[in-house]
Structure formats: structure tokens, C-alpha cells
A and B are shown apart, each in its own frame.
Chain A
Amino acid sequence: MTLLNVDQLTVAYQQADGGWLETVKQASFQLRPGACLGIVGESGSGKSTLARALMGYCRNGGSILGGTVRLDTQTIVPAAPDARNPFRGLGMAYVPQNPLSSLTPHCRVGDQVSEAVRCNQRVSRAAAKAHTLELFKATGLPAPEQLYQRYPHQLSGGQRQRVVIAAALAAQPRLLILDEPTTALDKTTEKQVLELIQQLRDRFNTALIYVSHDLNVIARMCDDVLVMRHGRIVEQGPTTQLYQSPRHAYTRALLAAMPAVDPSRCAAPASPRPASDSLLQVEALRFSYQRPASWMSRLGLAGQAARPAVQSLSFRIPRGETLGLVGESGSGKSTVAALVAGLYAPDGGELRFDGVTLPAGLKARSQAQRRRIQVVFQDPLSSLNPRHRVADILIRPLTLFFGLNNTLARRRVLELMEALHLDPALLERYPRQLSGGQQQRVAIARAFAAEPELIICDEITSALDASVQAQVLRTLRELQASTGVTLLFISHDLGVVQQMAQSVLVLRHGAVQAYGRTEDIFRHPPNDYTRLLLEASAAPVFSSGHGNRAKPAASTDSDILLFSSRTALHETPSPHRSAPRSEGRIATRA
């Protein structure tokens, strides 16, 4: 018996020249009731288009050219011509990637979910509200009554995604389609949301289709996997089988690019240097965001509360080494980056760069000081001016810092392009015409153009696909080896930090949780929080199939590990990690 039957589904988008570009090509697969299917692929592989087409929906400019989709006995594609509201009573629900953009900003979240309830059932407002509160409870939202009255911006990312999931459940779907539901969340929140999805699946016996580029997550969640590339399904099969013996070369490449925490793979320690030769030394750094003074506080009616973002932070980075700065979103990582870069002036403490105290704030720093510290931002599309060509972007720092004339600057730009494995033909393009990986390479090239001694990398790969991420990081390591640049590497992905950094600093609520050599921290996490973080980015542990939940591994005895049933700690420092279950884990390497 199958719940969903997809046969030869083809979706295409109309191009500017009037031609059609097929983004999903003859996709065929089936889904059993209550099963979980993962769809993986890089961005642009057509996985989200496929997920939407399952509901008979395409974005503007798109069209379902052929094929059929059946849910039980209902035909969804091709749609009946008189179907006025194709989404009503379908028995399917969709959870999009970004919960902030899928919730209406000016409506209370409770009302939005209530509306979804009333779309699906003819009930009174009061009954809809009661049902919504139940859904909030089921999705593990705290204090549903108060939360009902809040607006989307007053919720955390994880809470927003729970609200969206609650709205999806309002339709009492037999099939829930989740399109990268945790990509916008940090690792620990992601883990909790994944746990929630599993619980709901058990409770409501809903089938799941889980779209993601994150193979770790897919391994954890899904019974079956479908790998997509350029709109085509290249491989499909049971998760364990596909991960352990991938048949298609592309699947193998994807698996190989997967970063995972593995103590045997710590970044090689740079040659030991005397402690005095630290490039950046941070002493007791303090900073808090001053809330903008409201008219209430000006009149003395409300106290002015300042939230400390960084509390008494001290660390140092030896020359030529990499310090990994990790923590959840909101832990103050990016604030530290902004303080070191000079975008914010600290409230207290000292920044010493190459033995000299750095003035607080950019304007007080000399041009040379600004040149020697460069920043690479998280989102390359936002950090590259969309109206400047790649050539302009790279030439600017050369003329500004070194006063090079156009000819010399162009020559230097070509060298930089080569060092970053970028095709010189891209110089005349605009950032939007580049792929995500190329954009980030250009941003890195811009940083290196200034010939800096310290580069602050603020989550530089979190917007990239796993395979692209691995390539970009490899290039960055090559450049570090050849230029001897020091890196302050900020990430929420411990797998990546482990590959890149000689030492690690774990930050939580602006305070240091752990600080030391990468190897020591990863093998002997000094406290529960660090262990929780490590665990959240551990290598994939397979879902053991529907209804057959694994018991918590023996080592996860800590009370704070709320959702630990399907991940295990690596309790031994040996490179051969013990597998908690026989079919359990596979070692992956990048």
C-alpha cells in the first residue's frame, strides 16, 4: 500500500528568452503511510521545486509539464480544472525553510495558526483557539497562552519554526513536507526541532518528506533517501544502504564532503611558538548593546536595560594559527568579530594586535591597522555590492591600501583570482551572476587583497552546500599555509572548526564556556554545555525506522541533554569510536 505515488513528474521554469528550463525531470517515487523520505541535493538541484510540485504548486514562472501525483486515491497532479483552492483538504502540509518570512509580521502568531485551523475545519473562533493552544502544546512551545498573543519577531528562531509546524499540523495532514526546516537554526535548536518532528511523527502517524542539503540530518531522520542532481533523481534507496554503499558517484562525492566531528581529524597543530608571539591578544573584553533610548526612558518612566553581549572575554591567537570561536546563535560570536574588527567599541578591556593596543572603533584606527585586519562575512551576496563587478570589488582595496594604478591592480587581481581558483572570465560579472561558492571566494579574495595578518571569518561557509563548503575551506587552508595569515574562525559547526582550528573557544551568553587546544576540548569536553554542542554536531546516527526508537546511549546521562535519544556521545578518545548500535554509524571523511 502506498500513500503517495509520484510518476514521471516534470516541472519547468520559463526563461527570459522564452524557453523552458526543466528543474525536475521525470521524478518517480513512492511513499508508504507513516514513512519518512529524505530528499538531498545541493542548492539548485530541484529538491524544493519537487517538494512544492507534490502539492501541485509552482512558484511564479513555473509549470508542471507532465506526470502524475496521487495521494491515496486523490489525484493532485494533473489538477482538476475546477479545483478552486488546491490546498484545501489535501491531506498534505508544507513547512517552508525560513519561518520568519512564512509568518505574517503584523499578525499575532496564535491568530495565524487559528486561521489555518479554521481553513480546515468549520469551527468557532473559540474552538479554533483551543485547538491552536493544543497544537502549541504538542509542538513543545512554552506558555502557549502568552505565546498566542505574540508577534513573530518576538519569538526565537526555534519557536517560530515550531509555530509554523503547528500551523502545518492544523490541517491534520497524512503527509508533512518539510523544506529545509532547520537550515536557518543553530545546531542545538535544530536538534530540538528534529526531535519534535520525530515525536509528532510517532504521535500522529504522519508520513514525512524531508528536504535538506544536510546529510547528517537526513541520516538521523529518514528511512529512505532520494538524491537529486540537476533536477534528476540520481539514486534512491534505504538510508543505511545508501550511506554505506552509495552506487552513484555523485552520492559518494556528497557523502565525502560531509563535515563531522571526529577526534582523529583535528587540524594539525602549527609548529610550537613561544607564547609571546601572539598576533591578537584580547584581555577582559566587555561589551553590551545599549538599547536605543525610548521616549519612556527619557521621561524616566522605564529603566534603560543593557544586555551584556560579551562578558570579560580573554583569549589570544598565536601568529599563523587559527582560533575557532563556537557557540549557538546569540552567544556573542559575531559581536566578538565586530569588536576585533573595530565596528563596535568595547565597554572595557583591551585588544592588543601585534603588541600594540588597538584603539576602540574604526575611525580611531590607522589605515594600516584597518588593512592588517580583514573580515569575511557570512552571506557573500550581502557582503558584495550587487552593482559592482567582481573586478571593481577586488581592485578597490588595492587602490585604497596600496595606491596601485589600474594596470598593476589588474595584474594583482588576476593573481588573486588564480589563488582562489576562480576563472578570470568572472571578473566582468556581477555578484548575482556567480554561484554561492564563487561569491564567497570573491569575498575571501577581497580580504586577501589587503594582504592582512588577521582574517576574521564570520560563519563564512554556513550559507554554502556541504560539498562547496569543503572546497572553499580547502582553498582557505591552502592560502593560510602560503601566506601565514592568522584566522579567527567563527562557526556554529564544530565539524568545520575541528578541521580548521588549532584552538577553540566555546562561547555562551557572551561568556567563555571552554577554551583550549582543539584536541583537548574535543576529546575531553570540560563541561556539559560543551558536550551538548559537540553532540549536536556529531556524525550521523541512523534513524532506526518508524516506531522503533533506540534507547538513549549509556553515556548520555546528563540531565541537560533533553533530546538525546538518537545521538550518542563519543565517550572514548580513541579514533575508532565505539558504535552504540550495530547498524549505527559510519565514519565519514572530508
Chain B
Amino acid sequence: MTLNFDWRVLRHPLYTLGLALVALHLLIAIGAPLISPFDPIELIGARTEAPSANFWLGTDVLGRDYFSRLLHGGRMALLVAFTGVLISVFLGSLTGIACAYLRGPFDHAIMRLVDVKLALPGILFIALFVTGLGESAPVLVALIGLVYMPGVIRIVRAQAITQISLDYVRAAQLRGESAAAIIWREVYPNTLDIIFVEFAIRMSHAVLLLSSMSFLGLGISPPTPDWGLMVSEGVGQMSFAPWLVLAPALFISTLVLGLNFGAEALAAALGVDASRGKVG
């Protein structure tokens, strides 16, 4: 099973920038414990100290090193977004292909559920569940999975419908292959390119959604360092310590920007129409 990547897209400066930003953020997230000067949750300084040689960005309201917290702040969000999106893309694509292949009542039922979900604002949906189930990481992963699945189902279903009209599916039916074998063995590999692009696009959405949720106090809970939380904590000090808001905001936006350009680069490399992936 191979995907035909066209590496020539790397000649496009925006795509290269996108991939470089994503790579940089991944390096920081993975290497944070090694490169950050202090433990991000340890109270080691005075409250809201100004930046100094010791604490590069000063300390937060509880006296923790702000720079160390910043380096750690993407870890949980990225982990939750990655796992959640992986679940939504994997289950969503199989469901989408199943809809396209089986049609009939199954397809109708799933597609109406998808319509209902797409009509609900994601943040409202999450707010309801988080209030009910608490804000642990597994709950967040499941919610991210659930929020993005309908969009994935739709996109992959459309792609699968064109694949199912091809004769190789007919040939498999004539061999007497089961529906599951046709979905998994025949059609699924042929939707992989669009699935990859879906994954990249949903990742950027998910990172932004998780940050918004933390900002609203519905997402990752303290004391875990998180950019969204840090923005919300820093808003009070905005007038005299603006970096407390600006620094995490910069980290969020560069990551989301990188993921967006990266997704477009991936779409271009695979020859997928990225605009189709932005539905839902």
C-alpha cells in the first residue's frame, strides 16, 4: 500500500513554512522536559515576578516559571487532539465507507445523525458533555473523536461512492467477498489519501477547539500547563504583563497556522482537493 506523494510541493514557501512550524512544535512538545529550565508545576519563585535572567518570562500568579510552562503548554493539547482525531478519522472513515457501500436504511440513519450533529455548534456539544462527565483527558479524547466524526463520515462517504462505482468492487463482489472485506480490503486503501488530509485538517481544528475550551474552563484542567488556560489566567494581568497572554497566544497561532499550511501541503502532495475537506 503506497501513497503517491509528490514532494515537489516543498518548493512552495508557505507549505515549507507550515511543515517547519509543525516540526518545531512537535520537537518542543516532545523535548519540553529536557529543554525547559524548571519544572512547570513547581512553585519556585515569587508571584508574578517580572522577566529576569533566572525566569526568562517571569513567573505566573502562583510563582511558577512561565517559560517552562509555555514549553510544556502544548503537550496535553497535542496528545488529546492527536488521539481524538485519530479515533474520529479511523472510525469515521470506516463508517463513511460502510454508508457508501451498504446504502439503504443504514446510510439514511447515519447521515441523519450526521446532519443533526453538524447543526450543533461543537463548543456547545462539548460544554454539555464536559459538565456531565467531568474534564478528564479520556473524556476530552472521546469528545474530540465524536465532534469531528460526522465531517469525516461525509467526506469519506463521498469519496467512497466514486470508488464503489468502479469495477474492482464489482470484481470483489463476483468473488463472493463479504461486505466487511470489500470495505476494509478494497475500498479503504483507496480513500487513504483523503483520510490523511482529513486528519491534518481536523488536527488544526482540534487544537484550536481544545484551546478555546481550556480558556472557557471546560478543557484541560489545572495544574497541567496549557496555552488556553494560560491565556485565560493571564487576561487579568493584561495591562501590566501583556506577555502572559501574548506568548501562549503566539504558540497557539503558530501551531494552528503550521497545521493549516501543513494540511494544504499534504493535500497538494497527494493531489486531493483540500477545500472539500473544510466542510463541517
Check if B186 sits within 8 Å of A385, measured CB to CB: yes
Judging by beta carbons under 8 Å apart, are B174 and A16 in contact? Answer: no
Least CB distance from A210 to B in Å reads 31
Q: When the two chains form their complex, are residues B171 and A386 in contact, meaning their CB atoms are under 8 A apart? A: no
**Do most interface residues of chain B lie in helix, strand or loop, or is the interface mixed?**
helix
Task: Tell me the bound Cα distance from A375 to B170 in angstroms.
Answer: 9
Q: In whole angstroms, what is the CA distance A370 to B177 when docked?
A: 11
Closest to A450 in B: B175
Chain A, interface size category, equals 20 to 34
Of A370, A387, A388, the contact of B176 (CB 8 Å cutoff): A370
CB of B174 within 8 A of CB of A341, answer yes
Closest to A432 in B: B4
Contact B189 A385 (CB under 8 A): yes
Q: Which residues from B are CB-within-8-Å of A385?
A: 168, 186, 189-190
A362 touches B171 (CB 8 A): no
Residues of A384-417 whose CB lies within 8 A of B: 384-388, 396-397, 400-401
Q: Once bound together, how far apart are the Cα atoms of A341 and B171, in whole Å? A: 10
Taking CB atoms and an 8 Å cut-off, the chain B residues in 153-170 that contact chain A are: 166-168, 170
CB contacts (< 8 Å) of A401 on chain B: these are 175
Contact A386:B170 (CB < 8 A) given known A396-B175, A400-B176 = no
Which residues from chain B contact A379 at a C-beta distance below 8 Å?
167
Contacting residues, chain A, for B8 (C-beta < 8 A):
16
Chain A neighbourhood of B174, CB < 8 A: 341-343, 362, 370, 374-375
A383 touches B168 (CB 8 A): yes
Q: How far is the CB of A122 from chain B (nearest CB, A)?
A: 35
Given A382-B168, A383-B168, A385-B190, check contact A397 B175 (CB 8 Å): yes
Indicate whether A315 reaches chain B with its CB closer than 8 angstroms: no
Q: Are B175 and A370 in contact (CB under 8 A)?
A: yes
Instruction: Return chain A residues, CB-CB under 8 Å to B175.
Output: 370, 396-397, 400-401, 450
Please give the distance in Å from B29's CB to the nearest CB on chain A: 32
List residues of chain A with CB within 8 A of the CB of B189: 385, 387-388
| Chain A contact residues, CB within 8 Å of chain B | 16, 341-343, 362, 365, 367, 370, 374-375, 377-379, 382-388, 396-397, 400-401, 430, 446, 450
Give the interface SS of chain A, mostly helix, strand, loop or mixed: loop
Q: Which 8 A-B pairs have the closest CB atoms?
A: A383-B167, A387-B189, A377-B167, A385-B168, A382-B166, A382-B167, A370-B176, A383-B168
Cβ-defined contact, B171 with A375, below 8 A:
yes
B173 contacts the other chain (Cβ, under 8 Å)? yes
B125 shortest CB reach to chain A, Å: 31
CA distance A367 to B177 in the complex (A): 10
In the complex, given contacts A382-B167, A400-B177, what are 10 additional A-B residue pairs having Cβ atoms less than 8 angstroms apart?
Answer: A342-B174, A362-B173, A377-B170, A378-B167, A384-B168, A387-B189, A387-B192, A396-B175, A400-B176, A446-B171
Interface residue range, chain B: 10 to 19
B170 touches A343 (CB 8 A): yes
**Residue B273 interfacial (CB < 8 Å):** no
A343/B173 in contact, CB under 8 A: yes
Q: Does B2 contact A (CB under 8 A)?
A: yes
A383 touches B171 (CB 8 A): yes
Q: Which residues of B contact A377 (CB under 8 A)?
A: 167, 170-171
Q: Whose C-beta in chain B lies nearest to the C-beta of A380?
A: B167
- Chain A proximity mask over B1-38: 1 for CB below 8 Å, otherwise 0: 11000101000000000000000000000000000000
* B190 close to A387 (CB less than 8 A): yes
B173, B176, B177, B190: which contacts A386 (Cβ < 8 A)? B190
A-B contacts counted at CB < 8 A amount to 54
**Shortest Cβ distance from residue B62 to the other chain A in the assembled complex, whole angstroms:** 53
Contacts of B177 in A (CB 8 A): 400
Chain B's nearest CB lies how many Å from the CB of A20?
15
A-B contact pairs, 27 of them (CB 8 A): A16-B6, A342-B174, A343-B170, A362-B173, A362-B174, A362-B176, A367-B176, A370-B174, A370-B176, A374-B174, A377-B170, A377-B171, A378-B167, A382-B168, A385-B168, A385-B189, A385-B190, A386-B168, A386-B190, A387-B190, A387-B192, A388-B189, A396-B175, A397-B175, A400-B175, A400-B176, A446-B171
Give chain B nearest CB distance to A291 CB in angstroms: 16
Output the residue of A16, A365, A379, A396 with the most chain B CB within 10 A: A396
Inter-chain contacts of A367 with B (CB < 8 A): 176
Contacts of B192 in A (CB 8 A): 387
CB distance from A269 to the nearest CB of B (A): 30
Residue of A nearest to B4 (CB): A432
Interface 1/0 per residue, B97-114 and A, CB below 8 Å? 000000000000000000
Q: What's the nearest-Cβ distance from chain B to residue A588, in Å?
A: 32
Nearest-CB distance from B129 to chain A (Å)? 36
B173 to chain A, nearest CB (A): 6
- Tell me the complex Cα distance, A382–B170, Å: 10
Give chain A residues whose Cβ lies under 8 Å from the Cβ of B2.
387, 430
Chain B residues with CB below 8 A from A384, complex form: 168
Which residues of chain B come closer than 8 Å to A374, judged between CB atoms? 174
Q: With a CB–CB cut-off of 8 A, which chain B residues contact A382?
A: 166-168
Q: Report A-chain residues with C-beta under 8 Å of the C-beta of B168.
A: 382-386
Shortest Cβ distance from B174 into chain A, in angstroms? 6
Once the chains bind, are B171 and A387 in contact (CB under 8 Å)?
A: no
- Nearest CB of chain B from residue A372's CB, rounded to whole Å: 12
Residues of chain B lying within 8 A (CB to CB) of residue A370: 174-176
Inter-subunit contact B167/A387 (CB<8 Å): no
* Bound CA–CA A400/B171 (angstroms): 13
In B124-177, the 8 Å CB interface with A consists of 166-168, 170-171, 173-177
Chain B's nearest CB lies how many Å from the CB of A153? 15
B173 and A383 contact, CB distance less than 8 A: no
| In the bound complex, CA of A385 to CA of B186 (Å) | 7
Chain A proximity of B1: nearest CB distance (Å) = 5
Residue of B nearest to A447 (CB): B171
Query: Bound state CA distance, A387 and B190, in angstroms?
Result: 6
In the bound complex, what is the Cα–Cα distance between A383 and B172 (angstroms)? 9
B 172-187 to A, binary, CB cutoff 8 A, 1 in contact else 0: 0111110000000010
Which residues of the other chain, B, contact A446 by a CB distance below 8 angstroms?
Answer: 171
When chains A and B are docked, how far (Å) is the Cα of A374 from the Cα of B167? 13
Name the residue among B171, B173, B177, B190 with the largest chain A CB count within 10 angstroms.
B171
